[in-house]
Amino acid sequence: MPHIQRNEPPRGQSRPATARSTHPIWFVVPAFFVLTVFFLVPTLLNFVYSFTNWSSFKTSIDFTGVDNFTQLFSSGNLVADLRTTIIYAILVAVFQNVFGFALALLLERDTRLNRIARAAFFVPVIMSALAVGYVFQAILEPTGALNSILGFITGQSVNIPWLGSTTWTIVVVTLIHGWKWMGLAMLIYLAGLKTINGDVLEAARIDGASWLQTLQSIRFPLLAPAITFNVATSLLGSMNSFDIVQATTQGGPGGSTELLNIYIFRNFGEGLFGEATAMSLILLVLVMALAFPLIWSLRRRERIL
Amino acid sequence: MTANTITTVGIRNRNFRLLRKVSRPSRIIQPMAVVLAMLLLLGIPFWIIVVTAGKSTADARDPNLSLPGHWELAQNLATAFTQGNMGIALLGSLLLLVPSVFGVLLLGAMASWILARRKSRGVSIAYTIGISGVIVPPAVVTIVLLLREIGLQGTAIGMIGVYMGMYLSTVIFFVTGFIRTIPVELEEAARVDGARPITVFFRIIVPLLGPVLATATILVALFIWNDVFYALFVVGGQLDTLPLNLYQVASSGLYLQNWNLIFAYVLIMTLPMLLVFIIAQRRIISGVTSGAVK
C-alpha cells in the first residue's frame, strides 16, 4: 500500500464526500485546453477553410463556396486520390494481417528460436517508416538488389522496374507497408492465440480434428477480438499514411500511388492552402465514414461468434 | 470403476502421445521454416543496409548483396553524422519527444481519473470528445494556420502542443479504462485519512498506473521519434529532428545516389530505438499487445 502523507489538517472529514470535492473538475482542464487548442479547433477550422481561397499568393482570405471541391473534382484529383487511398488501405490491411497471422501460427510454440524470431520480426515496427521506404527504394531499383538476386537465380540479367508500373507499384508499396507492420499484427495474433483455452484444443485433437480443422472452427472464431483490432487499426491507420509512399515513389509513377496525404503535402508546399485543406476535409470524412460502420460491424461479428 | 477410469485415461494419453508423435516431422520443419522466413524477410533487407553502409559511394550506387571491396563503415557513419547534422537532430528529436510524452501522460492521466470516476451526462460527453482523436485524423493544414495565428508555427512548443493534442485521446482512452478497474475503496481509505484530491491522485492512483502508462509511453514515443509528416508541416526547415534530416539528406539532389550515406544515416537513427527495444523487450511486447485482445 502506498504511504499517505498526513501532515495537513483533515479537511475532507467535515464535508460530505461529493464527487465535486473528491474528484474536482479542474483536473480535466489542462488536458482539454491542449486538446481544444491543438486538435479540436484546427479540426473545426478545417471545415471553414475548405470553403475559402486561402493561399500563399494572396493576403486576403475569402469564402468561395464549394470552388475547391469542384476544382478537385474537375481536375480528377479527388476521385483518383480517393480511389488510390482506399485501394492502398485495403491492400495494406490484407498484407499486414495475412503476414502477421501466418507468422503468429509459425511462431506459436514457446521455443527459444521462436522467441528470438518474434523479437526480430518486431524490429521493422520500431524503425522509421521513412527509413524503411528508402531501404526498399534501393532494393527495388531497376539495378538494385532484388533484380540482382533474381538475375543470379535465373542466370539472366533482370531489369524489372518494381517502382515504375502505374498498375503494380501500388501493390509493391503496400507490400512494403505490410512488411513494416506485420510484426505488430503478429504479436496481437499471438496474444489472441494465447487466450484460447488449451483444453478445448486438446479435446478437439483427441476427437481426431486435424490442425486445419481446429484452426478453422476453433481458433479462428476465438481470435475475433484480435482480428477486429488488427483489421480496424491497419485499415484506418494506413489511410493516414505518407512516409513509405513519399520515400519510395512520391506518389508516382503517373500519380498511381498518390494518397490524400501526398496531395495535401504537395499542394501545401506549393502554397495552395485552400485546396490542401479541402483534401484534408475529404480525408477526415473518409476515415469517419469508414470507421463507425467498420468498428460496429466487426464488434457485432465478435458478439455473434 | 476407478480402475476402469484410470485405464481409459491411460489409453487416451497413449493415443494422444501417438498423435503427437505423428506430428514429429513438423518439429524439424517448423524451425527450418522459421530460419528461412527470417533469412528471406529480415536477413536480406538488414544485410543490404549494413553492407551498403560499409561501401564507397561508387560501390554503393547499385545496392546489392555483395560485401564491400573495402569496408568504409566508420567513415560513412562519421560523414552521415556530420553532413546530416545528426548531433543537433538528435537533440531536436529529444527536445520534442521528452516534453510531449511527459505532458501527454500527466495531463491525460489527470483527466482520465475524473472521467473514470465521475458519472454525469456532461462527463460522458467530455469523455467522447476526449477520445475522438483515436479515430479522427489531425487536420494538419489548419493546425499550421492556427499555429501561425498564435505565433507558435515553426517552434518546438508548437510541435509539442500538436503531438500532445494528437495523442491525448489515446492516453485518455487507455488510462480511463484502466482506472475503472481500480477499486474506488482504495481512494476512500486515503480520503478518510484526510488526503486532498491531488494527494489521492499522485499517491494512490499514479503508482497503480505503471503498466498502462508504460504502454502509452511506448506508443507515443515510437510515433514521435519516427514522425516526419507532421514535423514537415510544423517545424520543417526550422528545427532539426532525425527523420526530418534523413528526409533532407535523401531528397536533396546532392545525395541522390549516395545510398552508403543514406544507409549509414538509417543505421545510426535506428540504433537508439533498437537498444531501447532490446533492453525493454518484454515490457514493450506486453505493452503493445495489452488492450488489443480484450
> For chain B, what are the domain ranges?
2-82, 85-251
By percentage, how much of chain A surpasses pLDDT 70? 92
For residue A3, how many other CB atoms are within 10 A of its CB? 6
- pTM for this structure? 0.86
φ, ψ of residue A36 in degrees (nearest 5): -65, -50
The reported pLDDT for the residue numbered B195 is 84
The reported pLDDT for the residue numbered B171 is 93
Is B85-251 a domain of CATH 1.10.3720.10? yes
Q: Are A140 and A162 in contact (CB under 8 A)?
A: yes
Domains of chain A: 78-304 (1.10.3720.10)
Contact: B162, A38; criterion CB under 8 Å: yes
pLDDT for B116-148, tens place per residue?
A: 998 889 898 999 899 888 888 999 999 999 999
Band (pLDDT 50/70/90 cuts) for residue A125 is very high
Band (pLDDT 50/70/90 cuts) for residue B12 is very low
Range with the lowest mean pLDDT among A219-223, B6-10, B110-114? B6-10
Cα–Cα separations (whole angstroms), residue A122 to A133, A241, A247: 17, 19, 21
Contact: B16, A205; criterion CB under 8 Å: yes
Contact: B44, A149; criterion CB under 8 Å: yes
Residue B253, C-alpha cell as written in the block: 539532389
The reported pLDDT for the residue numbered A102 is 94
Of B12 and A79, the structure prediction assigns the larger pLDDT to: A79
Contact: A34, B164; criterion CB under 8 Å: yes
Check whether B7 has a pLDDT greater than 50: no
Among A34, A56, A118, A234, the strongest candidate for a mutation testing the B interface, having the largest count of B CBs within 10 A, is A34
Average of per-residue pLDDT across B4-28: 51
Among B110, B115, B142, B192, the strongest candidate for a mutation testing the A interface, having the largest count of A CBs within 10 A, is B142
Residues of A within 8 A of B188 (CB-CB) are 17
The reported pLDDT for the residue numbered A22 is 84
Give the mean pLDDT of chain A.
86
By percentage, how much of chain B surpasses pLDDT 70? 88
Contacts 24+ apart (CB under 8 A), A57-66: A57/A271, A64/A274
pLDDT for A86-118, tens place per residue?
A: 999 999 999 999 999 999 999 988 889 999 999
* Secondary structure in 3-state letters for B165-232: HHHHHHHHHHHHHHHCCCCCHHHHHHHHCCCCHHHHHHHHHHHHCHHHHHHHHHHHHHHHHHCCHHHH
Residues of A within 8 A of B231 (CB-CB) are none
Q: Does B204 touch chain A (CB under 8 A)?
A: yes
**Of chain A residues 51-90, which have a CB less than 8 A from chain B?**
54
Give A72's contacts (C-beta < 8 A, 6+ positions apart): A78, A275, A278, A279, A282
pLDDT for A181-201, tens place per residue?
A: 999 999 989 988 888 888 888
Give A61's contacts (C-beta < 8 A, 6+ positions apart): A49, A52, A53, A54
Contacts 24+ apart (CB under 8 A), A164-170: A164/A253, A165/A253, A165/A256, A166/A253, A166/A254, A166/A256, A167/A256, A169/A249, A169/A252, A169/A253, A169/A256, A169/A257, A170/A84, A170/A87, A170/A88, A170/A91, A170/A256, A170/A257
Band (pLDDT 50/70/90 cuts) for residue B292 is low
Band (pLDDT 50/70/90 cuts) for residue B253 is low
Tell me how far the alpha carbon of residue B220 is from its chain's centroid.
6
Q: Are B261 and B76 in contact (CB under 8 A)?
A: yes
pLDDT for B256-290, tens place per residue?
A: 568 888 899 999 999 888 898 888 888 777 777 76
Check whether B14 has a pLDDT greater than 50: no
Residues B134, B135, B141, B142, Cα dihedral to 10°:
-70
Residue A52: beta bridge partners?
A: A63
Of the candidates A54, A138, A240, which has its C-beta nearest B63's C-beta? A138
